[in-house]
Amino acid sequence: MAKFNLVSLFEDKVGKAFTLAWLVFIGILNILSLPTNWANCQMLKWKKDGGGIICSKKVRRNGEKSSFFRSALFGFTLVELLVVIAIIGVLIGLLLPAVQTAREAARRMQCANKLKQLALAVHVYSDSHQSLPAGLAGSYGSLNAGVNPGRWSGFIALLPAIELTALYDRIMSEDVYMSSWGAGVLTAAQGGSNNPRAFQPNLFICPSNGIGTKPEAATGHTCYRFNVGDNPGSWSVDAQIRGPFGYQAWRPLSAVNDGLSNTLCFSEKAVDEFNGTSDDVKAQVATYAVAATGGFSGGYLSDRTICVGSAVGGKYQYGVGGMTNGFTYYYGWHWFGSHWYHIGLTTTLPPNSPSCYNRAGNYNAMFSATSFHPGGVNAVLLDGSGKFVSETIDSGTAVKFPTPSAPSGESPFGVWGAMGTRNGNESKTLP
């Protein structure tokens, strides 16, 4: 498997532009520094003339002084200066995009490494507990389960494996109360910035996301999501979850019949600024407050193309078809959990597609993988291998499952859909 080489990329893009700039610069210096013939000349004085610097010399002929002066150009004229500035400007114009490309490639590689660390943490957890962590569960399944039913994310279970044992121990000992399940600024009564929910693990932030500084007492965010599968069913019905991470369900690795190298573990979801007002498809979610909207009907997926049509030109069309903005939900601003829209993703639609959430009825949702990397998203499979998945990956042509109320068998949503299932019995792999 070919590996990404940042040095090679830098040499290809930046190195060539720099070499060209250096050769042109040396050439200009050589032209401007050509020696002048000073034979039989005696330097008398310097004077400015015609934008250059002229050295005037008086020459003796037959032992007598002559009024004949010879001039030699030293330095460069105004026209030459403007030419040099123009050349440098063109070279900078060529160089900057190459530098930006190299920087984004470095950020993308950092992002991919973070995903691999999370996948490794999943295996550390599996080795200790003989199962995968639940994507969403109560207060660790038993503690205070009546207060936090199914609201803690699988990231909490992974904390000891990512060197945050002290935070994990504190959460478990306090059985952190989520009196407000959603994201937002935690009140003084909730502990404010001292609440573990306000802690921001750096591992959960993709460098390319470009999100601003988190308010101190706000819940921490995550750019990385658990794979919930290809079926955007009810968030609290584990039987409808076809991915490896379930709702209050701890599945062993042996339950992944499709193979660890053919099943998605984590991918990305771009996060908007806190209190942002973006309508960008990658960072926001189209929210529907009326049942049977957003591509859902009767609590099941009815037509995924309706969600695709919620956006035009990469922007959500708020106010159309009962769609509202989701700014108050702060999607992705709660790594601690509370709902799949903060920590989960579906493979119903290809990367960088719109996301739709119906908060009426059974709270159905399609949360597409998105990122600010050009052309696709980073992903890591359950075997720990990383991939960059193109937004043009095969995602099938079906608009829904053959039996929406009981999806089974192969995913109808192409290669990307197959990556979301743990037991769809597909023979498909990522390119």
Region of 367 on the Ramachandran plot (φ > 0 left; ψ -120 to 50 alpha; else beta) = beta
How distant, in Å, are the alpha carbons of 54, 76, 162, 384 from that of 124? 77, 68, 10, 12
**Domain definitions of the chain by residue range:** 99-420
| CA 213 – CA 311 distance, rounded (Å) | 28
Beta strands 136-137 and 376-381: pairing type?
A: unpaired
- Structural tokens at position 132: 């995968």
Closest CA to 119 of 224, 208, 21, 17: 224
- Note the pLDDT of residue 229: 95
Scored b (16 or more CB within 10 A) or e, 158-169 reads: bbbbbebeebbe
Give this prediction's pTM.
Answer: 0.79
Three-state secondary structure call for residue 388: strand
Give the pLDDT of residue 164. Answer: 96
Model pLDDT, residue 25: 61
Regions of the chain where pLDDT drops below 50 = 1-11, 33-74, 140-145
Residue 295: the pLDDT is 87
How high is the pLDDT of residue 89? 84
- The pair of three-digit structure tokens given for residue 395, joined into one six-digit string: 């995602």
Please classify residue 88 by burial: count the beta carbons closer than 10 Å to its beta carbon, then call 0-12 exposed, 13-18 middle and 19+ buried.
middle
Q: For residue range 139-170, what is the model confidence (pLDDT) as tens digits?
A: 544 444 455 566 789 999 999 999 999 999 98
Taking alpha carbons only, the member of 250, 235, 267 closest to residue 366 is 235
**Beta bridge pairs of residue 218:** 185
Residues 6+ apart with CB under 8 A from 51: 77, 78, 79
